[in-house]
Amino acid sequence: MNYRVPENRPWFRYWPEHLPHGLQYPDVPAWWIMERNMDSFSQKEAVVFIDYESMEEIVRISYQELWNSALSLARALSRMGISKGKKVATVLPNSPAQIICYYGIWLSGATVVPINAFYKASEIRHPLRDSGAELVICSEGTLQEVLKAKEGLDIGLAVATVRRTLEGIPEGAFRFEEMLKEPPDFSPPTIDPYSDVAVVLYTGGTTGEPKGAMLTHRNIVCNTMQFAEWYAFQRGDERCVCVIPMSHSGGMSGVMNVPIYSAATLLVMQRANPPVVGRVVEKYRATRLFGVATLYAALMNDEEARRCDYSSLRACRTGAAPLPVQIKMAFDELVGHEVLIEAYGITETSPLAVANPIQRAKAGSIGIPLPDTDAKVVDIETGKEVPAGQEGELWIRGPQVMKGYLNRPDATRESIVDGWFRSGDVARMDEEGYFYIVDRLKDFINASGFKVWPREVEEVIYKHPGVKLCAVVGVPDPYRGENVKAFIALKDEAKGRVTEEEIIRHCRQYLTGYKVPRIVEFRDELPVTPAGKILRRVLREEERRKAEQGA
């Protein structure tokens, strides 16, 4: 059932020395990722839960305690009628409860539907309803939004105390901590790793309502192993800072499953507070800090965070959004050695598919495909593979590609062609087999008939020393179709000193005329997802509304 990547792919000439082209994946359910630690690492610290404001340790949990809690939750869910194939949603921040929920729900045979804890009721309601979830587990901090979201829906409720005391819960709701008092002697059902769905993750990467990507147990296990082996995780000797939301595909994989697979200690925080993140790396001698570009920019732009010692870091992965070359170079300099490695993953590929080799990274490139993963660039119109150097849509094939979209067979057929997943990203491959993301297929700007890719313009803007964050979008123009507009958040020392004209002059040094922003708007902050990805679509929508109102 495995697809073999042709040995003539150019990237194999530059393959990491420690890694075979293919891995051996056991046919096991996703909970095996934690269970495999019970023989040798049961008493090792699995989680240190840290307050993101005070840096106080809230709780420490061993692998045995974590595993027993997952078994207890599975038993409680079974007693409530949650069985194989049913769906349980979670609206939880990063916490021991979130980890226990993933593994406990898997052990029960059910499917996890993770929902971001920062979402409002209107954003929570769609995945609850679309997935057909029979139970939602939330925290004291997300309870009110969940109650509004589930109005009129026949969904049970359980509430966990994550960070502060919860005085009471709604009538008929279950208390999560009481569920964990069940005996940890649960026998899980038989799972078919190839067909049984472990997770339904809702992705908003394209237009329209978010779609639920169905990831099987095999998807999860394979990608966890690919990820851990690629980055050379040292089993039993890793300390990983966990700030990306575990409800996000990158957080579920990179800050939860991969560290657990490696018997690491997870330094878990609910959100990224730059000075605290820096101090946690320093105090615990963290070996891994996975995030997005904006996290690393925030660490460098915070005076207290900049003073921290990051020398213990072995490799830091960034994904979800492009990594500007300037941010990579500056963070590597701060750490004292090359550490920040760009990779590429999307929800539908569990998520990691392409990554830079640690010892041979190329700045600006997302790297080469992981073991057992194939990738190609195809002509957007014909679907035929194009030669190196040409732009087209990135297609991916491998054991981490999703089963399909929940309740959307047409969308599944459009997205997966003969086992290849159509990413919706415009890319090119160089002669050595390294891939470069040009931009989202649907993000290009049509300026007088010329295609402008926002990422190219953003890379140039980031070269300006006064720029902290930027986003480039197309705004309606009756003559040109669209104008290029840049939204910029300046560093504190540049505010009031850098002008719109200076930014435009800067861009003219590097870009042809039609790519240069015609409009520049400075803002104190830019809209970002809880994972730190800049939301271009929010800015585009603002501009569209202004155009409709005649502004």
Which of 126, 127, 64, 70 has the alpha carbon at shortest distance from 98?
Answer: 70
What is the C-alpha to C-alpha distance for residues 185 and 166, in angstroms, rounded to an integer? 28
- Cβ(87)–Cβ(61) below 8 Å: no
Task: Say if 512 falls within a structural domain.
Answer: yes
pLDDT at res. 351: 93
pLDDT at res. 207: 40
What is the C-alpha to C-alpha distance for residues 427 and 181, in angstroms, rounded to an integer? 51
Tens place of pLDDT per residue across the chain (551 aa)? 578 999 999 999 999 988 999 999 999 999 999 999 999 999 999 999 999 999 999 999 999 999 999 999 999 999 999 999 999 999 999 999 999 999 999 999 999 999 999 888 988 999 999 999 999 999 999 999 999 999 999 999 999 998 777 777 899 999 999 999 999 999 999 999 999 999 999 986 434 578 999 999 999 999 999 999 999 999 999 999 999 999 989 999 999 999 999 999 999 999 899 999 999 999 999 999 998 887 888 898 899 999 999 999 998 888 766 677 788 888 999 999 888 988 999 899 999 999 999 889 898 899 999 999 999 999 988 889 999 999 999 999 999 999 999 999 999 999 999 999 999 888 999 999 999 988 776 777 877 667 787 888 898 899 999 999 999 999 887 657 789 999 999 999 999 999 999 999 999 988 888 889 999 999 999 998 766 778 888 898 888 788 877 65
pLDDT at res. 205: 43
What is the C-alpha to C-alpha distance for residues 401 and 419, in angstroms, rounded to an integer? 8
CATH of the domain at 499: 3.30.300.30
Task: Say if 202 falls within a structural domain.
Answer: no
pLDDT at res. 149: 96
Task: Say if 427 falls within a structural domain.
Answer: no
- Cβ(485)–Cβ(458) below 8 Å: no
pLDDT at res. 551: 55
Task: Say if 68 falls within a structural domain.
Answer: no
Provide the residue range defining the domain that includes 452: 443-548
What is the C-alpha to C-alpha distance for residues 471 and 454, in angstroms, rounded to an integer? 8
Helices (H) and strands (E) in the chain, counts: 17, 27
What is the C-alpha to C-alpha distance for residues 502 and 498, in angstroms, rounded to an integer? 6
What is the C-alpha to C-alpha distance for residues 270 and 225, in angstroms, rounded to an integer? 25
What is the C-alpha to C-alpha distance for residues 319 and 366, in angstroms, rounded to an integer? 9
Longest Cα separation, the chain: 70
Token pair belonging to 108: 């029960």
Buried b (16+ CB within 10 A) or exposed e, 210-246: bbbbbbbbbbbbbbbbbbbbbbebeeeebbbbbbbbb
DSSP 3-state of 67: helix
Task: Say if 447 falls within a structural domain.
Answer: yes
pTM, two decimals, is 0.84
Which of 298, 361, 358 has the alpha carbon at shortest distance from 334?
Answer: 298
Task: Say if 14 falls within a structural domain.
Answer: no
Dihedral sign from CA coordinates of 247, 250, 254, 258: positive
Question: Which helix H or strand E contains 106, and what residues bound it?
Answer: helix 96-108
DSSP 3-state of 365: coil
| Three-class DSSP labels, 321-349 | CCCCHHHHHHHHHHHCCCCEEEEEECHHH
Token pair belonging to 548: 């409709």
Task: Say if 477 falls within a structural domain.
Answer: yes
Token pair belonging to 524: 């104190």
Question: What DSSP string runs through 448-467?
Answer: TTEEE-HHHHHHHHTTSTTE
What is the C-alpha to C-alpha distance for residues 77 and 100, in angstroms, rounded to an integer? 12
- Cβ(374)–Cβ(3) below 8 Å: yes
Task: Say if 376 falls within a structural domain.
Answer: no
Total domains, the chain: 1
What is the C-alpha to C-alpha distance for residues 425 and 27, in angstroms, rounded to an integer? 31
Question: Which helix H or strand E contains 58, and what residues bound it?
Answer: strand 57-62
**Rounded to the nearest 5°, which phi and psi values hold at 113?**
-120, 90
